[in-house]
Amino acid sequence: MNVTANTSVSDCRRLSSFLGLIGEKWTVMIIALLLEHPRRFNEIKRTTDGISQQMLTRTLKALERDGMVTRTVFATVPPQVEYALTELGRSLAVPVRALGDWANDHFDRIEHSRLSYDERNPTE
């Protein structure tokens, strides 16, 4: 389903939980990392500066549940777990990367707008 001007309210509600996950900064960062190659949990945690173990676990589970990520457990002591993007996850990486490129291209304009707004509205 394409989200267009004709998208109904019920369509928006149906998509909202998934779009909320995709809008999370950690989701975007994890997808970008896994696009390079599969990674183990601790490698993702080390590379994703500032994410808590609980948030990483929650985000990876949500991505796995939605079919974006696979989770492979290796029979080692202790067990090691590797995460990789599925074909569906790789297809999501295309618009995620485009959004990142757009944000990077417009960062200075956005920052200027924020500063101008803050100067006009100092109490907010």
> What is the rounded average pLDDT of the residues 94-123?
90
Instruction: Determine the Cα angle at 78 with ends 76 and 80, to 5°.
Output: 65
Tokens of 45: 């945690």
Tokens of 16: 């909202």
Whether residue 15 has pLDDT greater than 70: no
Whether residue 21 has pLDDT greater than 70: no
pTM above 0.85, yes or no: no
**Residue 1 pLDDT class (50, 70, 90 cuts):** very low
Give the strands of the sheet with 80-85, arranged side by side: 39-40, 80-85, 69-74
How high is the pLDDT of residue 23?
63
How high is the pLDDT of residue 5?
55
**Residue 98 pLDDT class (50, 70, 90 cuts):** confident
Per CATH, the number for 9-120 is: 1.10.10.10
How high is the pLDDT of residue 94?
87
Q: How far apart are CA 97 and CA 31, in angstroms?
A: 9
Is residue 56 within 8 Å of residue 44, measured between CB atoms? yes
SS3 state of residue 111: helix
Domain ranges across the chain: 9-120
